[in-house]
C-alpha cells in the first residue's frame, strides 16, 4: 500500500510539473492519405503511451488504495469474498499484481486512447482534464466499473457514499493526469518511424484485452479513427467546425447517460 501511495503521489507531481503542456491531435488537414495515416499513428502512439502511464501510476495504485479504504471502513466485511474472488481485508502481492494486469493497465489504456480523440472538446490544462475524467465517470462507470450498481461488493463494503466519493475523485484525478501526460508525450514524440515497432507492437497487443474488457470504448476509438480519416479530407470544415461538432456529440452523450448515472449513484449511496 505504501508503494501504491507513492505512485499516486508521483502522478500528482508529474501532472503539476507538466500542467502547461497540452495535447493537440495533428490533423494533417487536406494532406494525402499516407500523411493522414502518419498523423493517426502518432495520435494513437500518444494515447497508448499515456494509457500505460495512467495504468501504472494512477488507475492501478489508486484503485487498490480505494479498495483498501473501503475494506478498512467495513470491519464486519473482513474475511468475506468479493466478486473478483478476493478476501476483504487481506492484502496480497498476487492480488495487487492481478489488479494491475486485469484492471489498471486495461482501463489506463482505454482512458489514454479515448482522450486523444476527444481532447479537443475540452479546455486545455488540468481543468480540462478534470472535466474529461468526470465525463468518463458519467458515461462508463455505471456500465463497466467502478460504479456498476449490480456489483455485489457494494453490499459487502462501504459506506456507499464513501465509495462513490472515492471513485469520483479517482476519475477526476485520472483525467487530470491524462491531460498533462498526453501533452508532455505529444511534445516529446517525433514523427512515426520503424523504431516505434519495439514499443508500439507490445502496447498494441495490450489494447486487445483492454478493449475486450470495455467493448464500448473500442467502438469509440474505432469510430474516432474512421471519423479522423474521413473528416481530415475536408481541411476547412474540420478547422472551423470540428471542435464544435465534437463538443455537441460529447454533450449529447452526457445528457443521455446522466439519468442512469444518477440512479446508480443513488442506489449505491
106 neighbors 214 (Cβ within 8 angstroms): yes
φ, ψ of residue 84 in degrees (nearest 5): -85, 0
| Alpha carbons 240 and 237: distance in angstroms, whole number | 5
How far lies 124's CA from each of 120, 176, 256, in Å?
A: 8, 10, 25
Q: What is the DSSP letter of 214?
A: -
Q: Return all residues near 38 (Cβ < 8 A) that are at least 6 apart.
A: 28, 191, 192
Start-to-end Cα distance in the chain: 26
Q: Which three cell numbers stand for residue 245?
A: 461538432
Q: Other C-beta atoms within 10 Å of 64: how many?
A: 23
pLDDT tens for 174-197 read 999 999 999 999 888 877 777 777
3-state secondary structure of 152: helix
pLDDT tens for 48-90 read 889 889 988 888 888 888 877 877 776 665 666 665 556 665 6
Q: What residue has cell string 489508486?
A: 62
194 neighbors 41 (Cβ within 8 angstroms): no
Top mean pLDDT of 75-79, 91-95, 152-156, 249-253 is at 249-253
Top mean pLDDT of 21-25, 74-78, 170-174 is at 170-174
Radius of gyration of the chain (CA): 19
Helices (H), the chain: 2-17, 33-54, 60-72, 93-99, 105-118, 125-140, 160-188, 197-213, 215-231, 235-268
User: Which has the higher per-residue pLDDT, 91 or 121?
Assistant: 121
Q: Which three cell numbers stand for residue 7?
A: 505512485
99 neighbors 64 (Cβ within 8 angstroms): yes
Query: What's the whole-model pTM score?
Result: 0.84
φ, ψ of residue 144 in degrees (nearest 5): -110, -95
| Residue 235 scores a pLDDT above 90 | no
Of the pLDDT bands very low, low, confident and very high (cuts 50, 70, 90), residue 34 is: confident
Amino acid at each position: 500500500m505504501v508503494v501504491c501511495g507513492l505512485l499516486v503521489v508521483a502522478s500528482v507531481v508529474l501532472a503539476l510539473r507538466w500542467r502547461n503542456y497540452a495535447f493537440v491531435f495533428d490533423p494533417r488537414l487536406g494532406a494525402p492519405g499516407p500523411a493522414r495515416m502518419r498523423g493517426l499513428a502518432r495520435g494513437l502512439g500518444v494515447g497508448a503511451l499515456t494509457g500505460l502511464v495512467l495504468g501504472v501510476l494512477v488507475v492501478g495504485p489508486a484503485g487498490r488504495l480505494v479498495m483498501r479504504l473501503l475494506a478498512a471502513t467495513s470491519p464486519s466485511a473482513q474475511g468475506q469474498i468479493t466478486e473478483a474472488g478476493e478476501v476483504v481485508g487481506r492484502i496480497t502481492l498476487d492480488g495487487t499484481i492481478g489488479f494491475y494486469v486485469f484492471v489498471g493497465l486495461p482501463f489506463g489504456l482505454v482512458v489514454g486512447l479515448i482522450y486523444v480523440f476527444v481532447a479537443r472538446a475540452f479546455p486545455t490544462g488540468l481543468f480540462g482534464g478534470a472535466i474529461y475524467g468526470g465525463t468518463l465517470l458519467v458515461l462508463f462507470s455505471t456500465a463497466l466499473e467502478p460504479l456498476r450498481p449490480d456489483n455485489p461488493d457494494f453490499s459487502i463494503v462501504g459506506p456507499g457514499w464513501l465509495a462513490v466519493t472515492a471513485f469520483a475523485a479517482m476519475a477526476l484525478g485520472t483525467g487530470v493526469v491524462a491531460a498533462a501526460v498526453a501533452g508532455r508525450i505529444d511534445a516529446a514524440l517525433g514523427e512515426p518511424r520503424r523504431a516505434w515497432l519495439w514499443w508500439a507492437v507490445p502496447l498494441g497487443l495490450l489494447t486487445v484485452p483492454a478493449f475486450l474488457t470495455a467493448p464500448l470504448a473500442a467502438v469509440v476509438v474505432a469510430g474516432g479513427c474512421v471519423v479522423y480519416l474521413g473528416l481530415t479530407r475536408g481541411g476547412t470544415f474540420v478547422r472551423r467546425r470540428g471542435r464544435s461538432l465534437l463538443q455537441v456529440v460529447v454533450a449529447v452523450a452526457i445528457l443521455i447517460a446522466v439519468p442512469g448515472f444518477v440512479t446508480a449513484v443513488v442506489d449505491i449511496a
